Structure formats: structure tokens, C-alpha cells
Amino acid sequence: MKKENRKKRFATNASVDSEQKLKISMTDTKIYAWIFLTVHEQPTFLNEVLWRADGINHAIPMLEELQNSFGWLQAQGFVRKVGKEYLLTETGATLKKSISHGNIFSVLDKITEKFSQLPEIGFTPDAITEKELDAAYKLNRK
């Protein structure tokens, strides 16, 4: 995917009036950072990724965003997949700890900036299926 591919998302920023919306332009790199923020050092199931992503950006990632993000994050060595769970690698945990201060939007921007400095690499999208995404989404609706 090309970095200039842009998607629009909307999120509520806690520092602004609750009626006001903060518009976030979501480049591929920012989407990778958004999904990266949902993964921890402990195994993380897909439904937790969706729940955390919604908490960060008040949006649920689309299937292609998840597939590409996890494929890219794994190829870069930040995340690994064990069965159906995702967890940070030592490299990913170190990066997250080094810039996890400030509000969520500043952290997202810092991670996006770090990711944008990395060389472009080829990757295989993660094999998340529509069925798995639907099941994870349904778990969150309970």
C-alpha cells in the first residue's frame, strides 16, 4: 500500500468540547501506528484489538486495515502472532515504552513519525478473515 493513500476518520479529543470532533487524516503509516497501540506485551485477541482501536479513535478498523497493519507490523519486527493472538516483540515493547507519554493523540503522532522514518518493505497481509473479524466484533457487542 502506498503511504499517500488517505482515509478519513473522526475521533473525539478529550481536550475539546464533547460536541467538537477532531478530524484525523489516516495514512497507511498512521493506521499501522493506531493498530500498534492496541497490542501489548501479553497476548491480545482480535476482539481486544477492536475494542482498544475504538477507544483510541472511536472507529473500528476495517478488515484490510487490520490485515495490512498486522502484516506490516510483523514484517518490521514490532508484533508477532501466536495462534490467533498478537503480542509485542521486545523491539515493539521497547518502542512503545519509549514514547508512551502524553495524550493518546500525541503518542499516535510520535509512533506515526517513527514508522514513517522506516524504509519501505514488502510484507504479506495477515490472514485475518471476514468471519474472524465478525466474530470478534460480536464479542465486543455483548
* Structural domains of the chain ordered from first start: 27-141 (1.10.10)
Q: How far apart are the first and last CA of the chain?
A: 34
- Specify the higher pLDDT residue, 28 or 86: 86
**Mean pLDDT estimate for the chain:** 82
* Angstrom distance (rounded) from CA 97 to CA 9: 26
pLDDT at 9 over 50: no
pLDDT at 73 over 50: yes
* Angstrom distance (rounded) from CA 76 to CA 126: 13
Q: Where does the pLDDT of residue 103 fall: very low under 50, low under 70, confident under 90, or very high at 90 and above?
A: confident
Q: Are 140 and 47 in contact (CB under 8 A)?
A: yes
Q: Which residues pair with 7 in a beta bridge?
A: 26
Percent of the chain with pLDDT over 90: 61
Average pLDDT over residues 82-103: 92
pTM, full prediction? 0.79
Residues 6+ away with beta carbon under 8 Å from 109 = none
Query: How many CA within 13 A on the CB side of residue 62?
Result: 8
**How would you classify residue 15: left for phi > 0, otherwise alpha for psi between -120 and 50, otherwise beta?**
alpha
Given this model, what pLDDT does residue 142 score?
Answer: 63
Q: Where does the pLDDT of residue 5 fall: very low under 50, low under 70, confident under 90, or very high at 90 and above?
A: very low
Q: Are 50 and 136 in contact (CB under 8 A)?
A: yes
Given this model, what pLDDT does residue 4 score?
Answer: 34
pLDDT at 119 over 60: yes
Q: Where does the pLDDT of residue 139 fall: very low under 50, low under 70, confident under 90, or very high at 90 and above?
A: confident
